[in-house]
Amino acid sequence: MMKSYLGEAFELAFQAHAGQVDKAGQPYVLHLVRVATALSDRDERVVALLHDVLEDTEVSAEDLALRFPPDICAAVEAITKRPHEAYEGYLARVAANPISLAVKLADMADNADPARLAALDPDDRARLREKYATARTLLIQLAEAPHAAS
């Protein structure tokens, strides 16, 4: 039987994101859990829990490689925005990995959830709604492009 990495991913995410809060002041780990529970595939759920760990914590790609299989690590690295990276290039990389694509779409859906946005001021709410709608459209276009399957 193949090992399930879900518990290990939750433990690492919970520890790595300890003390972090989202824009509405809620514990950040709640966002990770919502994104994971929106997905049905086991590997997608693992990546959902880890999707911000390289970007927003002290965890390194090497740390992940010691705990998770290569396909999980590759998806987490694909969904991690790099410093000074153009957003479209980032989304193209996300779109090229089926696991990171599914996780990013679930991440955007959670970030754009009206219940989450309601806690923000109207200007931030409108700006973020537009940002996520535009990014989602671009991500889907990139995923459907012939070169994305390579």
Under the banding of pLDDT at 50, 70 and 90, the label for residue 3 is low
Residue 123 CA to residue 14 CA, distance in Å, equals 31
Q: Is the pLDDT of residue 80 over 90?
A: yes
Which residues lie below 8 Å from residue 80, measured CB to CB, with a gap of 6+? 51, 52, 54, 55
Q: What is the pLDDT of residue 112?
A: 87
Which residues lie below 8 Å from residue 39, measured CB to CB, with a gap of 6+? 45, 48, 102, 103, 106
Q: What is the pLDDT of residue 1?
A: 41
Whether 116 and 110 have beta carbons less than 8 Å apart is answered as yes
User: Which residues are identified as catalytic?
Assistant: 55-56
Residue 104 CA to residue 44 CA, distance in Å, equals 10
Separation in Å, CA 69 to CA 33, 44, 114, 136: 21, 13, 35, 28
Under the banding of pLDDT at 50, 70 and 90, the label for residue 148 is very low
Separation in Å, CA 85 to CA 3, 37, 82, 88, 89: 34, 29, 5, 9, 7
What is the average pLDDT across 29-41? 97
How do residues 94-144 score in pLDDT, each as one tens digit? Answer: 999 999 999 999 999 998 888 888 888 889 888 988 989 999 999 999 899
Residue 93 CA to residue 116 CA, distance in Å, equals 27
pTM of the model: 0.89
Q: Is the pLDDT of residue 149 over 50?
A: no
- Which of 108, 99, 143 has the alpha carbon at shortest distance from 5? 99
Domains of the chain (ranges, CATH numbers)? 6-149 (1.10.3210.10)
